[in-house]
Structure 1
């Protein structure tokens, strides 16, 4: 396929210094037993969180690149998350950040872990993502498109690197390098290895690969093996989000890999209460702890007030999308890709807190505090 951005020779040469051979498949996948996963989950408080990207970042690259990484803002926003009653956040990383500067990138990730820990919050880190723009590029990121939901979010790895055999070594070292650095750090909750790996990103039909699903289906099991090779104390997961999950005859190949490989089962649901509860029941066959790593779409009747009580009753972790209204503009709904909004929608689609840090809907924060037993701070 036509490549928009080629790997710069100095970058690839620098990364090559840390490269190690990519391991072949192993017969023993090292997956946690259901009993071990259950014991791990019993040791956790009820996990209630949000998907988090700093309000001044348009995507994963802008959040973590050296010129735009803003620990002061992250500290302020995670403090607000804690005050809202949250005890975990889901944070997205990117392979190009590792390629750019492995040492500096790990230092910045560690800084986020330090900040989160001070506020009693444990991050669930996402390593790869198949959503939105297939052609990520390092450097200054473009401004958000006016009135459009998550208009500059980027895939990881990008389309041009999915079948690059040489770049696979970079991906391997990224996974192994990040997990090795933090494999014993109990301040981290876990590793979400690939967000929506079978998302076709239809909004980018001109640049999305036609063979993406086949390439991801080949790569995803390898990512699980690379992660397990580090001996991390944290559970691994990758969340199912579409199609049928409960019937092995009907589920997709990639969903099957996710369900067969994950230590704890994660899923996404923006359904109304009845549909959401049914999705939980559909995953009961796994016998493993469940984490809903994405929910909340107010205009679809998927709200804090009607979903969070279900997750508490069913003992399921829950992460709203997202924490603060910022440059990702996820308060606009998905249909803004087809028809950009001239004004902010009412209600907002996503996001718990406004730009000033005040709750968008105080009743939502009250619900979180009441259900978690974390009283309003004085």
Structure 2
């Protein structure tokens, strides 16, 4: 039998490759992998039933005004989180922004810590949103515009904006933001979860469509995948997610971006602004994934999405619920989406979103009574 001579250099290279693969296969020697279903369920069991709102203080028109040093309003944040806690809410979904990290990473981190201290005082554990594809594609730091009269979310801004999304030379900065902010808080027990990208393929058809990238999804899809990888690379203790928000999520009809969101998420999140029947249908589509499910946006009264319709169903299936809007303020989301195209001259007959007036009185006392009733037997987040 003849034996082939093997180049010793080649043997060395093969050995190094095998050693490297072995290291990557060992727990703790690689970026954090997606949570197992069992780990996700164990995490969810510790939280209790999650009930909350998408939060921005009534004095801020968008994410930048909420967090910039000159307009960071701790008095309002404290007061409004207290109102939320009083009706049994134990979480808030809160939006961040990449430009804030670029502007002043240390100061931004300090303000996040201050926010977390306030939230912890009220036994509220927030979910932070890193990126968002909704509304104005051209965010700018500094003083923010005044609200357009009677227009829903007239000042909300995207993250990343049009320029950063289109130009890959900005991606290193975006990577620094994602990794930096999660690394800073990756073991912080005051944080519930990281929502890496809100409604990533939203084209804002009723408001900014003519200003959007025509092929926006072609840019978002690979960047969303990168964002999950960046987030996992710093090994956060909190789960990662990105919520599916539109269309049919049944296995036969699901879109590529929805499939990516569900495949990469440690916990399943979704949006639904429709009837109780449609809300339940979404839940039934998502429960077979075998992971905790949280609805991170719902409740649009004029669109037949209500607390009375959705909350009892969510509780039945142990699905967390985070409605849009807490206190009527500069975002003006008591006006409906159609306010971009319909001329309103006064408050709407029916508020679209929001729970409280600025003085803390409920818009509909029967709603706050229901929320308090459904959460009364529950403890806050441990």
**Same fold, TM exceeding 0.5?**
yes
Instruction: Answer with 314-323 or 28-37: which moved more.
Output: 28-37
Distance (whole Å) between structure 1 residues aligned to residue 263 and residue 136 of structure 2: 28
- Determine the structure 2 residue equivalent to 1:240: 244
Alignment equivalent of 1:308, drawn from 308, 311, 314: 311
| Unaligned 5+ runs, structure 2 | 1-29
| Distance of aligned partners of 1:342 and 1:299 in 2 relative to their CA distance in 1, 3 Å threshold | same
- Determine the structure 1 residue equivalent to 2:360: 357
Q: Secondary structure at the match of 1:192?
A: strand
Alignment equivalent of 1:76, drawn from 70, 74, 79: 79
Distance (whole Å) between structure 2 residues aligned to residue 156 and residue 347 of structure 1: 30
Distance (whole Å) between structure 2 residues aligned to residue 221 and residue 264 of structure 1: 16
Q: How many residues align?
A: 348
Give how far 1:98 is off: 0.5
Q: Secondary structure at the match of 1:311?
A: helix
| Unaligned 5+ runs, structure 1 | 1-26
Give how far 1:211 is off: 2.0
1:157-196 residue pairs with structure 2 within 5 A? Answer: 157-196=160-199
Distance (whole Å) between structure 2 residues aligned to residue 44 and residue 35 of structure 1: 15
What are the superposed Cα offsets for residues 168-215 of structure 1, whole Å, 9 maximum, x if unpaired?
111111111111111111111000000000101122123211121110
Contact kept, 8 Å, 1:38 with 1:289, in 2: the verdict is yes
Alignment equivalent of 2:213, drawn from 205, 209, 212: 209
Distance (whole Å) between structure 2 residues aligned to residue 355 and residue 166 of structure 1: 42
Contact kept, 8 Å, 1:146 with 1:340, in 2: the verdict is no
Contact kept, 8 Å, 1:246 with 1:285, in 2: the verdict is no
Q: Secondary structure at the match of 2:33?
A: coil
Contact kept, 8 Å, 2:54 with 2:326, in 1: the verdict is yes
- Determine the structure 2 residue equivalent to 1:24: none
- Determine the structure 1 residue equivalent to 2:117: 114
Distance (whole Å) between structure 2 residues aligned to residue 173 and residue 374 of structure 1: 42
1:97-108 residue pairs with structure 2 within 5 A? Answer: 97-108=100-111
Residue 131 (structure 2) pairs with residue 151 (structure 1): no
What are the superposed Cα offsets for residues 280-321 of structure 1, whole Å, 9 maximum, x if unpaired?
001122111100000101122211112111100010000011
Give how far 1:165 is off: 2.6
Distance (whole Å) between structure 2 residues aligned to residue 374 and residue 179 of structure 1: 33
- Determine the structure 2 residue equivalent to 1:17: none
- Determine the structure 2 residue equivalent to 1:368: 371
Give how far 1:29 is off: 7.0
Distance (whole Å) between structure 1 residues aligned to residue 279 and residue 310 of structure 2: 8
TM-score, length-scaled by structure 2: 0.89
Structure 1 stretches of at least 4 aligned residues deviating more than 4 Å after TM superposition: none
Q: Secondary structure at the match of 1:274?
A: helix
Residue 138 (structure 2) pairs with residue 127 (structure 1): no
Distance (whole Å) between structure 2 residues aligned to residue 312 and residue 365 of structure 1: 16
Give how far 1:162 is off: 0.8
Alpha carbon RMSD of aligned pairs, Å? 1.3
Q: Secondary structure at the match of 1:46?
A: coil
Contact kept, 8 Å, 2:89 with 2:124, in 1: the verdict is yes
Contact kept, 8 Å, 1:127 with 1:193, in 2: the verdict is yes
- Determine the structure 1 residue equivalent to 2:265: 262
Alignment equivalent of 2:331, drawn from 304, 328, 332: 328
Contact kept, 8 Å, 2:85 with 2:122, in 1: the verdict is yes
Contact kept, 8 Å, 1:85 with 1:374, in 2: the verdict is no
- Determine the structure 2 residue equivalent to 1:3: none
TM-score, length-scaled by structure 1: 0.90
